[in-house]
Structure 1
């Protein structure tokens, strides 16, 4: 009977003693499940706006003797994604499209001194509508030649007139026939347009006799050398200004 009681006492004492000693035993490392750590790792790996997300591996080292360690995070594989740029921002940052070059006048129509063998006396203006040149006859068998624009088909004319008036930066009053003609083509002309850089008569005007024709400047210098006008003789503003200073009212003008 005593033996049975002793065995029972030992059975009770020994587990309690073992549990007491186990309290001070070394604990195994604590492992955090990848299911819990993965979202935090993904947040740390988030790429900047517009950059592709690259494959990364995140590993945390455990110092010797540490009581707690985190299991290595799984490799996060993400498909490369590039965010398309904002079209409005892209358009604003894009370089401006190059402007198309303005039409250029043929250099042959620039002013120059040339030989003159015609019969008109010095001081006369001679206009060759076929060649698109205006000559101011000078002494010594020479002439100052300028390029001009002349009347288009159906509006050209020939004859002799004199300069009856000169004007600087003239205003423009389109004739009634021109207003009606342009209206039929869908273009509305003003009843009057004051002088200025945008005025079709340009910087200077030399009025020919009692006609509606003039030798004048232009706001479209690239048309010099062409048959484009309604009968007037047009010049570059620089050239008509030069001619204006060289001639006076009463000068004879021959158009051929």
Structure 2
């Protein structure tokens, strides 16, 4: 299976797709007005468990430097525009996603 990820900023959802079929959707928190999440096409380039700080249980770095998909130590931020541009997920969701997608997975972020 060649999974890919689509992040819809407007509805705060991350969709995992297998071809054109949505396998699973997760709620996310995204960038605030002054530090918006960048739109475009990227890839997951690394994974780090227990990265420390506000990143929850897992960090998955994107091919855009300094941006990633990660857990959070503030679950109330999910569904809101509060981050410095990264995509925040509930810790259990980011672990589930990480088990499903390998490094190199395509990530499309759209408005």
Q: Same fold (TM over 0.5)?
A: yes
1:210, distance to aligned residue in structure 2 (A): 4.3
Describe the superposition over 1:34-90 as per-residue Cα deviations: whole angstroms up to 9, x where unpaired: xxxxxxxxxxxxxxxxxxxxxxxxxxxxxxxxxxxxxxxxxxxxxxxxxxxxxxxxx
Does 1:229 find its partner at 2:83?
Answer: yes
Greater share of helix? 1
Aligned mates of 2:20, 2:104 — CA distance in 1? 22
Contact 1:138–1:144 (Cα < 8 Å) also in 2: no
Aligned mates of 1:155, 1:143 — CA distance in 2? 29
Describe the superposition over 1:106-141 as per-residue Cα deviations: whole angstroms up to 9, x where unpaired: xxxxxxxxxxxxxxx950000000000000003572
**Cα root mean square deviation, aligned:** 1.6
Q: 2:49 aligns with which of 156, 168, 174?
A: 168
Query: Looking at CA atoms only, which structure, 1 or 2, has the larger radius of gyration?
Result: 1
Does 1:145 find its partner at 2:49?
Answer: no
TM-score where L is the length of structure 1: 0.41
TM-score where L is the length of structure 2: 0.91
- Gapped runs of 5+ residues in structure 2? none
Report the secondary structure of 1:124's partner residue: strand
- Residue equivalent to 1:101: none
Question: Runs of 4 or more off by more than 6 Å in structure 1?
Answer: none
Q: 2:7 aligns with which of 121, 127, 138?
A: 127
- Residue equivalent to 1:255: 109
Aligned pair count? 109
- Gapped runs of 5+ residues in structure 1? 1-120, 171-194
Higher relative contact order (CA 8 A, sep 6+): 2
